């Protein structure tokens, strides 16, 4: 139960939403206009007051369309902040909504954009996972939430890495565990983003560390191997043990945009009754049926209206 029912003489508790180790979240009513689409997060563990203050300051500094803004907060007792209630978390959303590859990439692109925006002002989330991504009710928009263990220094609050946890083990980068020499930073988020993408396109499956085997490839929920290749390329650029070997969030965002175009191109061919077997071209290139590197022919294994398109060599190896 909440310690009180009203906060800041403005927010009236309507019910509990969730409870974590650091804070309790509630659905609240705005007494100024009687609206109810708000979430209040209240510190419940005074020993984590420093961490909660860092989260509030980080959110206040962020300006991203895919990170909820704080509309009210208090660092003094009782410590809390309020954001708009934007939807269900991704894990819950995926239980009742089947994610196509196109839809997953659309949402993932927005999460990557949020991480990129945070990194640009030296904020590292450190806990990117399905529970910390919120999806709007219409399924069009994704938001990155819960900066409770973020890495941030604003000149007053400097994060100390030696005695703090670093997120969910299924998504956290190797350097986020105690005993590693590498310093967690922006590459840690990129690693988690790669794990998140795989979770989204494989029906909620996980990658065991960096073991990107053929079995991992085959679990991607796409009927076309080329599309699996495109997605694995994103994962191979992010789920890498060495932080220096990973893409930046900005590079990942560019690659996601390119992948969206590639997937769209293959989908368009398929919609015309054509089967694309291999694709060695870039995302801005088009199929040239007269090229010596291309072949276009009927395939007896498919209905008469289907054609097979072979463009260059395979994009990359799956093992």
Cite the active site residues.
127
Residue 11: which H helix or E strand, with range? strand 11-19
Copy the structure tokens of residue 196: 């998140």
Answer whether 60's CB lies under 8 Å from 70's CB.
yes
What b/e string do you get for 221-252 counting C-beta neighbours within 10 Å, with b at 16 or more? bbebbbbbbbbbbbbbbbbbeebeebbbbbeb
- In angstroms, the CA 68 to CA 118 distance is 12
Q: Tokens 């409870």 belong to which residue?
A: 19
Going by C-alpha positions, the residue among 229, 195, 188 that lies closest to residue 211 is: 195
* Helix, coil or strand: residue 96: helix
DSSP class of 210: T
Buried b (16+ CB within 10 A) or exposed e, 111-140: bbbbbbbbbeeebbbbbbbbbbbbbeeeee
What CA–CA distance (Å, rounded) separates 215 from 319?
A: 9
């Amino acid at each position: 139960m909440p310690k009180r029912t009203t906060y800041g003489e403005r927010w009236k508790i309507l019910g509990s939403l969730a409870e974590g180790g650091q804070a309790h979240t509630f659905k609240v009513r705005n007494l100024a206009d009687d609206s109810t689409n708000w979430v209040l997060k209240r510190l419940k563990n005074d020993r984590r007051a420093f961490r909660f203050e860092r989260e509030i300051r980080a959110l206040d500094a962020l300006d991203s369309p895919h990170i909820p803004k704080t509309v009210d907060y208090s660092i003094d007792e009782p410590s809390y902040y309020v954001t708009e209630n934007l939807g269900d978390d991704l894990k819950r959303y995926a239980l009742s909504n089947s994610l196509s590859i196109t839809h997953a990439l659309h949402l993932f692109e927005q999460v990557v954009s949020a991480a990129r925006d945070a990194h640009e002002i030296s904020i590292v989330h450190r806990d990117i996972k399905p529970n910390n991504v919120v999806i709007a009710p219409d399924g069009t928009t994704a938001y990155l939430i819960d900066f409770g263990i973020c890495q941030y220094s604003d000149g007053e609050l400097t994060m100390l890495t030696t005695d703090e946890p670093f997120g969910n083990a299924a998504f956290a980068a190797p350097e986020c565990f105690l005993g590693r020499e590498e310093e967690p930073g922006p590459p840690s988020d990129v690693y988690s983003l790669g794990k998140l993408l795989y979770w989204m396109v494989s029906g909620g499956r996980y990658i065991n560390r960096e073991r990107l085997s053929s079995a991992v490839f085959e679990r991607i929920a796409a009927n076309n191997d080329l599309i699996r290749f495109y997605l694995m390329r994103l994962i191979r650029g992010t789920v890498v043990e060495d932080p220096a070997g990973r893409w930046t969030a900005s590079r990942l965002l560019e690659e996601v945009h390119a992948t969206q175009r590639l997937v769209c191109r293959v989908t368009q061919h398929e919609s015309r009754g054509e089967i694309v077997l291999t694709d060695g071209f870039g995302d801005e290139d088009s199929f040239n049926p007269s090229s010596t590197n291309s072949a276009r022919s009927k395939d007896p294994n498919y209905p008469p209206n289907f054609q097979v398109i072979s463009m260059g060599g395979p994009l990359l190896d799956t093992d």
